[in-house]
């Protein structure tokens, strides 16, 4: 009686390894892009507080603020996150989010991916008969990393 061998042949194992390698080659870059998008999103979330403060200032005074202090926000280097180094309210209510370390406290923005370090996200207020809408743009952050509202 002939006994049947059970198990995988070397060729079958090599095919499985090749399939796993192909899947990894596709998945790893996509996952890295996803991680960078989440880091950029942190800046947009931190800017939401500044947007609210700017809108309240405009509603109360009828003009745009020129600095964080004029809207009652902390200093730019105090509004930070794991990936964001500063959030600044500038002339005409322009909100600038800077990624990576920006001279603030140690560790702020230090976890930002090298593809966004030093880049900025700009949120500009546009008024129309007393209401405010926001335009989001960035000349330095790659479009594929921007939140959908900024593309």
Residue-range domains of the chain with CATH: 10-150 (3.30.700.10)
Q: DSSP letter at 118?
A: T
pLDDT for the residue numbered 73 = 94
Q: How far apart are CA 16 and CA 149, in angstroms?
A: 41
pLDDT for the residue numbered 116 = 94
pLDDT for the residue numbered 131 = 85
Helix ranges (DSSP H) in 62-95: none
pLDDT tens digits, one per residue of 111-147: 899 999 999 999 999 998 878 999 999 989 999 999 9
Cα dist from 54 to 2, 81, 129, 137, whole Å: 84, 20, 16, 18
Closest CA to 145 of 81, 82, 83, 80: 83
Closest CA to 48 of 119, 151, 145, 147: 147
Residue 76, beta-bridge partner list: none
pLDDT for the residue numbered 102 = 66
Q: How far apart are CA 127 and CA 110, in angstroms?
A: 35
What is the full per-residue pLDDT of the chain (151 aa) written as tens digits?
666 777 778 899 999 999 999 999 999 999 999 999 999 999 999 999 999 999 999 999 989 999 999 999 999 989 999 999 999 999 999 999 999 876 666 667 788 999 999 999 999 999 988 789 999 999 899 999 999 888 8
Q: How far apart are CA 115 and CA 38, in angstroms?
A: 13
Residues 6+ apart with CB under 8 A from 51: 95, 123, 125, 134
**Count of CB atoms situated within 10 Å of the CB of 101:** 21
């Amino acid at each position: 009686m002939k006994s049947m061998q059970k198990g995988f042949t070397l060729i079958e194992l090599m095919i499985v390894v090749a399939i796993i390698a192909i899947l990894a080659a596709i998945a790893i870059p996509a996952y890295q892009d996803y991680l960078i998008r989440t880091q950029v999103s942190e800046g947009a979330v931190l800017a939401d507080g500044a947007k609210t403060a700017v809108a309240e200032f405009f509603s109360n005074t009828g003009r745009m603020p020129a600095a964080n202090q004029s809207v009652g926000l902390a200093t730019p280097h105090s509004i930070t996150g794991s990936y964001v180094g500063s959030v600044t309210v500038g002339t005409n209510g322009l909100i600038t989010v800077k990624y990576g370390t920006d001279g603030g406290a140690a560790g702020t923005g230090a976890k930002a991916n090298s593809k966004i370090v030093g880049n900025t996200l700009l949120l500009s207020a546009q008024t129309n008969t007393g209401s405010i809408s926001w335009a989001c743009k960035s000349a330095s952050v790659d479009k594929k990393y921007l939140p959908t509202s900024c593309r």
